[in-house]
């Protein structure tokens, strides 16, 4: 269920693994779900930029590493690296997470609310998180209904679905 018809790791599965790793590591750092809930704050995934060399295949053994690689006024930057068990880098990724006040739904300063947010000055992938330029030409519009199973613990569409929806909007020739 984590791979597609070709036995390749689904993009949705990759993003779910990233979320699990980020959540687990944030808990280890003392700034995870329980800490955030108690303090009226929460992390919202804002953007991911990936460099994909190869996708893992069914039965491949992989290692996923993650660490906070930077911070802005209201964002934490978290990097990920997916490797084979022999150390070959399959995927480099960086992600931007906004820290929000849950009651006001407004960004809050990371350093003010998370004084022990230790940053590792190493990057799996460097990005300024600028928006991608949309190519000129004919645009394709696809609508996606939100199903009950798409809603997560935070009562919103889980961010692992957005990349899948993007892929569903691309032409088969491009995907192949």
Write out the DSSP string of 48-95: EEEEES---BTT--EEEEEEEEEE-SSEEEEEEEEEETT--EEEEEEE
**pTM of the predicted structure, to 2 decimals:** 0.88
Could you give the CA distance from residue 17 to residue 126 in angstroms, rounded to a whole number?
A: 20
The answer on pLDDT for 84 being more than 70 is yes
Q: What is the pLDDT of residue 2?
A: 92
Kindly report which listed range (35-39, 165-169, 172-176) carries the lowest average pLDDT score: 172-176
For the record, the structure tokens of 9 come out as: 């790791």
Contact between 41 and 34 (Cβ < 8 Å): no
Q: What is the pLDDT of residue 138?
A: 63
Rounded to an integer, the average pLDDT of 79-102 is 95
Q: What is the pLDDT of residue 139?
A: 64
Query: pLDDT tens digits, residue range 145-163?
Result: 899 998 988 788 888 888 8
The residue among 46, 49, 36 whose CA lies nearest residue 80 is 49
Segment (H or E) for 44: strand 41-52
The mean pLDDT value of the chain amounts to 88
């Amino acid at each position: 269920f984590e791979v597609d018809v070709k036995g390749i790791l689904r993009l949705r599965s990759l993003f779910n693994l990233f979320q699990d790793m980020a959540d687990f590591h944030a808990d280890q750092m003392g700034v995870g779900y329980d800490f955030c809930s108690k303090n009226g704050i929460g992390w919202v995934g804002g953007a991911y930029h990936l460099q994909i060399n190869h996708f893992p295949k069914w039965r491949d053994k992989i290692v996923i590493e993650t660490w906070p690689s930077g911070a802005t006024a209201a964002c934490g930057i978290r990097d990920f690296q997916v490797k084979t068990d022999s150390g070959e880098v399959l995927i480099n990724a960086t992600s931007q997470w906004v820290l929000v006040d849950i009651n006001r739904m407004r960004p809050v300063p990371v350093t003010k609310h998370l004084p022990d947010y230790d940053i590792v000055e190493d990057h799996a992938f460097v990005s300024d998180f600028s928006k991608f330029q949309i190519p000129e030409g004919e645009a394709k519009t696809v609508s996606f209904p939100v199903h009950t199973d798409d809603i997560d613990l935070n009562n919103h569409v889980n961010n692992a679905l957005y990349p899948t929806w993007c892929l569903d909007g691309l032409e088969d020739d491009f995907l192949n």
